[in-house]
Amino acid sequence: MATALDTLFGQSYGAKQYSMLGIHMQRAMLILPICIWSPSMSSQILANSKHRIPNDDICSGITTLLHILICWVMVFKSELGLRGPALGNSISNWFNVMLLLLYVKLSPSCAKTWTGFSKEAFHNIFTFLRLAVPSAIMVCKARHPYNISTFSHFTYRFLNELDILYSTRVSNELGAGNPEAARLAVNVVIVVAICVGLSVGSILILIRNIWGHAYSNEVEVVKYVAVMTPLVATSNFLRLPPKIGAYSNLGSYYIVGIPCAVLLAFVLNVGGKGLWLGLICALAAQATGLGIVAIRTNWEKE
């Protein structure tokens, strides 16, 4: 849902159709109960689409400070047991929702984008879903492998935030009718993504002999982590922002990645390294496919 809003908000703002941002947000929040997801997501994307990301950061910072206090009370001062942290997390999430809604309602910067509730939000819902569902598939296929391989999950956040920035910029330029600026933004983000991948990969390689101590004091485990780390570093170099195509992610992970991982790990008995090599094959296929798409894209038509 948020990925669909990345596209719709950015293009509407770039085309100076400011009132459509509020309508898109209402339409998304009408569909959200189906997914049982956080309503703050729509407000966050609304702020991001106008390059006002620091305001979202301020709301998140205030919520984080309150979250620390709430969790302390729920864990140490209440008798809720394991329910305490869960309730604290829920309270913090809803507090963040209220902050974002107040910002959208009261901030002068949102005067043009939030014009009140409109019946138009009930229109074109299926058109919205045709964009949202493939976007959800895209993000799941890009994110779930890193949730499973938790060793590398923390590095996913770097490129995920870069993804949000670039998609906002590209959609703004396309909405404003500036195809060359959109093409330049794509080229810039590819270069930045490669630089981030190289930087993170280099750091992982440099600390490969000590990184294992964060998980275990067993010498065998530490040595195995040192052997696996270069493969993790390689996957970071190949990893690109994910929100470009559901078919690319489906093909790269399920047609290339998983078969290669199964073949290497269980048929050729390469072990854990085979699983990572399969992931690297998927990322290489994805990067190649997305590169071809970027080169062949008709930006004027977009």
Residues 163-183: tens digit of each pLDDT: 667 777 777 888 788 888 888
Query: How does residue 104 score in pLDDT terms, banded at 50, 70 and 90?
Result: confident
**Token pair listed for 69:** 């206090």
Q: Answer whether 173's CB lies under 8 Å from 182's CB.
A: yes
Cβ 190 vs Cβ 244: under 8 Å: no
- Of 36-50, 57-71, 230-244, the range with the highest mean pLDDT is 57-71
* Residue 238 pLDDT > 80: no
User: What is the 8-class DSSP label of residue 6?
Assistant: H
What's the rounded mean pLDDT across residues 150-158? 57
Q: What is the pLDDT of residue 31?
A: 74
Query: Contact at 8 Å (CB) between 171 and 10?
Result: yes
Specify the amino acid at residue 107: S
- Please name which of 55, 45, 37 lies closest in space to residue 21, comparing C-alpha atoms: 45
Residues 89 and 71: their CA atoms lie apart, in Å, by 7
Mean pLDDT value across residues 240-252: 58
* Mean pLDDT to the nearest integer, 186-200: 80
pLDDT, average across residues 34-56: 54
Q: Can you read off the two tokens belonging to residue 270?
A: 């390469």
Residue 112 · residue 20 · CB < 8 Å? no
* Short-list 138, 142, 179, CA closest to 159: 142
The yes-or-no verdict on residue 242 having pLDDT over 50 is no
pLDDT of residue 131: 72
| pTM recorded for the entire structure | 0.53
| Least confident among 55-59, 88-92, 104-108, 178-182 | 55-59
Domain ranges of the chain: 2-123, 148-296
**176, 15 Cβ separation under 8 angstroms:** yes
Report the distance separating Cα 257 and Cα 249, nearest Å: 10
pLDDT, tens digit, 9 for 90 and up, residues 268-277? 988 888 888 8
The two tokens of residue 172 are 């703004």
pLDDT band at 69 (very low <50, low <70, confident <90, very high): very high
pLDDT digit string, tens, across residues 206-225: 888 887 787 778 888 788 87
The amino acid present at 250, given as its one-letter code, is L
Q: Which of 87-91, 145-149, 260-264, 283-287 has the lowest mean pLDDT?
A: 145-149
In this prediction, residue 285 carries a pLDDT of 85
Residue 71: closest CA among 86, 58, 51, 55? 86
Alpha helices in 82-152 (DSSP H): 83-106, 125-148
Task: State yes or no: pLDDT of 241 exceeds 70.
Answer: no
